[in-house]
A and B are shown apart, each in its own frame.
Chain A
Amino acid sequence: LMSNSAVNDLIEYMKKMEQFPILSLPNELIEHVFSFLSIEDRLKTRVNNRLNQIELESKYFVHSLEIRELYGISKLEPLSKKIELPEDTYRDAQKIIFYKSNSYLSDCIKRIAQNTSIGQLSIRLNPNVSFHCKIYNLLKKFDIDHLFFDIKCYCVMENISEDDNSFVVELARVCKQITMSHNSCFLHTDENLLELYSTMKDGSMKLRSISMKVSTDVCFAFLSLIGIEFIDGSFYYDKDIHAFATEHWENGEDEAGDSPVVHFFNGNMEICFVKSRFCSVLKLHYHETGESLDRAKHGRNLICMDSDVE
């Protein structure tokens, strides 16, 4: 027979069980509830071991996420919540906004990378080389469709990766599409562009398309590495390469003020070069089908420049 106090304990216990029934639900139902939550709410719900484990083990897809560092604002400022944020990269994105680069943030990003795949990820950071390195190395752990990358940096960071590959090549494994803003234009050297180009060219990378700002000198050096020389205002290139350009390429800007654009094709690769004086735009695109390649060559009113070949 149970003593009175044991009976009371049992009654108490049963009452309590009544009160926290979320843990009486099987894991897959809790997981289902989690699928309705934002990243922020998910992470906060890890209030005991079981919930923590369920959160970690359930893979989920985030449509769009923006990770952004605000500059010159202290979190402690009472008005900080009312500050007008710069324009969002995506509409309706979930946001992680922080005020100061710190190790907490990279831990958090790491945790998110473990069980998500992401549609669009936008990263905007201020200059801080060591922190950037951390973030780059974390990005490799993600699974991303489109990465938008706006990192202010003012030095070449070719060796930031933990491995031997340059970090753009690392990113090419996990992202399908990458857009890098002009602030990131110091990130590239001609060698790592060549490495990226070569790995994209055989189609084995996840990456299909990348757009980046690259200093014009580095662009020419890269083009030269793949057999395209720019001499006295004209391009000279191997015969397996084909070039198409906008009408006013030679004259610099056209009447509408648009920059001249040249598209080079080599196999399935398209290299689009929008020349500016100091910092040009370079886009690499791997065309998966012949139709897509044809459309790129002939669907845009471009003029074939192959007659220039000598």
Chain B
Amino acid sequence: PNVKLVTSDNEEFVVDFRIAKMSVTVSRLMEAMNMSETDDASLLSNSIPLPNVTKAVMARVIEWCEKHKNDEPKEEKENDKRGRTTHVVSDWDKEFLKNDEFGRLCQLMGAANYLEIKGLFNDISQTIANMIHGKKSDEIAEMFNIHCDLTEAEKKEIRKKTAWCED
């Protein structure tokens, strides 16, 4: 059975029920609208509005979900007090995210968060974390193209506190 998803720019995506279920948000909406896998009429007569996701981003999300629809549900180590979150980004996922500009990556992250697709969300978070890892402060600022709004005194203060890790 198929489910209709409608993006903010009014594009309709028709996806497999299983794909739709991968998003906790969509899954919850379907439940609220009494849509069920065994009730074709309920699926045909309804569509799920997703006002926070654009067509371009949705296409990427669906591509990711297609690839991962058969994944075993896995236990992620959470950050509840067990330490730094770690997440292994699979080779396919690395390749999938490799060519995304930083801006697109952030949009995708926003969508994964809104749709509650944990695997994708953590993939992107880990990818961004990897981009940050090992860089110096000014390299990070440059990479993210962040305008520094700190005063000289604040900058000095921050440098002091990271003196042990700056070369």
A and B are interacting partners: yes
Which residues of A come within 8 Å of B, CB atoms? Answer: 16, 18-25, 29, 32-33, 35-38, 40-41, 43-49, 51-52, 60-63, 96-98, 102-105, 107-108, 110-111, 117, 119
Q: Please name all residues of chain A whose beta carbon is closer than 8 Å to the beta carbon of B87 when the two chains form the complex.
A: 36
Contact (Cβ within 8 A) B79 A19: no
Q: Which residues of A contact B85 (CB under 8 A)?
A: 32, 35-36
Least Cβ distance of B102 to chain A in Å? 7
What is the total of A-B residue contacts with beta carbons within 8 Å? 133
Query: Could you tell me if B137 and A47 are in contact, using CB atoms closer than 8 angstroms?
Result: yes
Residues of A within 8 A of B86 (CB): 36
Nearest CB of chain A from residue B148's CB, rounded to whole Å: 5
Q: Is the CB of B83 within 8 A of A108?
A: no
5 nearest A-B pairs in the assembled complex, by CB-CB distance: A36-B129, A63-B83, A104-B163, A47-B141, A21-B106
- Give every chain A residue within 8 A of B138 (Cβ-Cβ): 47
B74 within 8 A of A: no
Known: A22-B128, A96-B164. 7 other contacts (CB 8 A): A16-B145, A35-B125, A37-B84, A38-B84, A43-B162, A48-B141, A108-B161
- B145, A48: Cβ atoms under 8 Å? no
A23 CA / B146 CA spacing, docked (Å): 8
18 pairs, A vs B, C-beta closer than 8 Å: A18-B103, A22-B106, A22-B128, A33-B129, A36-B126, A41-B135, A44-B135, A44-B136, A44-B166, A52-B158, A61-B79, A63-B84, A96-B164, A98-B164, A104-B160, A104-B161, A108-B164, A119-B83
Let me know if A97 and B125 touch, CB within 8 A: no
Closest chain A CB from B116 CB (angstroms): 13
Cβ distance A29 to chain B, nearest Cβ, rounded Å? 6
Q: Are A62 and B164 within 8 A (Cβ)?
A: no
Known A-B contacts A29-B110, A35-B79, A49-B150; A104 and B84 likewise in contact (beta carbons under 8 Å): no
B111 to chain A, nearest CB (A): 11
Given A35-B79, A41-B129: A22 and B161 within 8 A (CB)?
Answer: no
Q: Which residue of the partner chain B has the closest CB to A17? A: B103
Assess whether B132 is interfacial by the CB under 8 Å rule. yes
Which single residue of chain A is at the shortest CB-CB distance from B166? A44
Does A61 lie within 8 Å of B136, measured CB to CB?
no
Within 8 A of A (CB), among B126-160: 126, 128-129, 132-138, 140-141, 144-150, 154, 158, 160
Q: Does B107 contact A (CB under 8 A)?
A: yes
Query: In the complex, how many residues of chain B place their beta carbon closer than 8 angstroms to a beta carbon of chain A?
Result: 45
Tell me if A37 and B102 are in contact (CB < 8 A).
no
Which residues from B are CB-within-8-Å of A41? 129, 132-135
When distances are taken between beta carbons in the complex, the residues of chain B under 8 Å from A24 are: 106
Q: How far does the Cβ of A181 sit from chain B's closest Cβ, in whole Å?
A: 22
Set A33, A43, A98, A119: member contacting B125, Cβ < 8 A: A33
A117/B161 in contact, CB under 8 A: no
Contact: A37 with B132, CB < 8 Å? yes
A63 to B113, CA, bound (A): 26
Q: Are the CB atoms of B102 and A22 closer together than 8 Å?
A: yes
* A161 CB → nearest B CB, Å: 24
Which residues of chain B come closer than 8 Å to A119, judged between CB atoms?
A: 83
Q: A172 to B161, alpha carbons, bound, how many Å?
A: 27
B103 and A19 contact, CB distance less than 8 A: yes
A29 contact set on B, CB distance < 8 A: 109-110, 113, 125
- B165 CB to closest chain A CB, in angstroms? 4
Residue numbers in B under 8 Å from A45 (CB-CB) = 132, 137, 140
Task: Give chain B nearest CB distance to A50 CB in angstroms.
Answer: 8
With both beta carbons as reference points, the residue of chain B lying nearest to A62 in the complex is identified as B83
Q: A33-B128, A49-B149 are in contact. Are A97 and B164 (CB under 8 A)?
A: yes
Q: A20-B145, A60-B79 are in contact. Are A108 and B109 (CB under 8 A)?
A: no
